[in-house]
């Protein structure tokens, strides 16, 4: 009886936490719930002010115009405000001032569910659930059949990455993807986004290193996703930065430089310093030179 009572108490505690989550009031509120339709993908930040608490402002007066179909890489040191921009685009947080427009419409007037259905998000730690690779890809579009799931997976390196899995799409990923490597978890998350086919893609790149072969497969997946859609990338990989249409260099919630890789290197400013201290070390040419030395 004592053992049963202990389990019963644990169950009650868990139930309380579940119901507290269900009853929690969302802090993000829409002024209207207008039908969204298919989003083209233009994103405009107009004098946006944002803070997580009253004590510290993350974005004091932020403006940025991202064109539909453009790939923008956000770079800068930790705390520059890069992740906050991604969280605001997904409407995970409320901002305190200014406007964020999606195709010219105030995002606070859009139907939140419809809007988020058109966003594909891959965080630093991809979310995988207990089940197979196939199941986890299908989360991107639950009604998709097996053929569509396979087609999405094969759009990354022609499906070669599946050959490294013991049972291909039927491989069990384990709890939170524990049976897969970091690179494989990223590939599953990218295939999920390909299946979803969103209008806006947001990627917070993992800082963990992967082997060069998997790195190539990930880049091929990114190239496939970024084609013909708006992409906002919090960049940690040199290959991603170089492929971006525009690089935004941030510091303390402000844009201090912007341009292409070549134009920013020519300025010999903050980005060039960042490249020489961090990104340059990911270059294969640099690695070859270092090995010879």
Q: Is 53 part of any domain?
A: no
Q: What's the token pair of residue 57?
A: 């402002």
Read off the CATH number of the domain in which 177 is found.
3.40.50.300
The pLDDT, as a whole number, for residue 288 is 43
Q: What is the pLDDT along the chain (293 residues), one digit of tens a residue?
A: 666 667 767 777 777 777 676 766 667 777 788 899 899 999 999 999 999 988 889 999 999 999 999 999 999 888 889 999 999 999 999 999 999 999 999 999 999 999 999 999 988 888 899 899 999 999 999 999 999 999 999 988 888 888 888 888 999 988 887 888 888 898 899 899 999 999 999 988 765 566 677 778 778 888 888 888 999 998 877 777 888 999 999 999 999 999 999 999 999 999 998 888 876 665 544 334 433 43
Q: Is 128 part of any domain?
A: yes
The helix/strand/coil state of 273 is helix
Q: Provide the number of structural domains found in the chain.
A: 1
Q: Is 186 part of any domain?
A: yes
Contacts 24+ apart (CB under 8 A), 144-147: 144/195
The pLDDT, as a whole number, for residue 72 is 96
Q: Is 145 part of any domain?
A: yes
Range of the domain at 155: 119-197
Q: What is the CA radius of gyration of the chain?
A: 21
Q: Is 167 part of any domain?
A: yes
Angle 249-255-260 from CA coordinates, rounded to 5°: 40
Q: Is 129 part of any domain?
A: yes
Q: Is 153 part of any domain?
A: yes
Q: Is 105 part of any domain?
A: no
* pTM (2 d.p.): 0.83
């Amino acid at each position: 009886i004592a053992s049963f009572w202990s389990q019963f108490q644990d169950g009650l505690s868990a139930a309380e936490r579940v119901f507290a989550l269900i009853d929690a009031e969302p802090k993000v509120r829409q002024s209207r719930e207008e039908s969204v339709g298919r989003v083209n993908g233009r994103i405009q930040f107009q004098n946006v002010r944002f803070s997580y608490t009253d004590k510290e402002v993350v974005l004091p007066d932020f403006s940025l115009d991202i064109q539909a179909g453009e790939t923008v890489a956000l770079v800068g040191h930790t705390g520059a405000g890069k992740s906050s921009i991604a969280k605001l685009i997904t409407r995970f947080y409320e901002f305190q001032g200014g406007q964020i427009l999606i195709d010219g419409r105030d995002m606070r007037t859009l139907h939140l569910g419809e809007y988020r259905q058109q966003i594909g998000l891959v965080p630093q730690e991809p979310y995988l659930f207990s089940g197979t690779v196939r199941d986890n890809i299908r989360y991107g579009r639950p009604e998709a059949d097996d053929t569509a799931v396979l087609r999405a997976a094969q759009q990354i390196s022609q499906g070669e990455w599946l050959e490294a899995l013991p049972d291909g799409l039927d491989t069990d990923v384990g709890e939170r993807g524990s049976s897969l490597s970091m690179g494989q978890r990223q590939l599953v998350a990218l295939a999920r986004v390909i299946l979803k086919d969103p209008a806006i893609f947001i990627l917070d790149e993992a800082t963990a290193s992967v082997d060069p072969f998997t790195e190539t497969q990930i880049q091929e997946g990114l190239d496939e996703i970024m084609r013909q859609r708006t992409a906002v990338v919090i960049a940690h990989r040199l290959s991603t930065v170089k492929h971006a249409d525009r690089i935004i260099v941030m510091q303390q919630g402000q844009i201090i430089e912007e341009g292409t890789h070549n134009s920013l290197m020519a300025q010999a400013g903050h980005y060039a310093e960042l490249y020489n201290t961090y990104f340059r070390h990911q270059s294969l040419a640099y690695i070859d030179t270092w090995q010879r030395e």
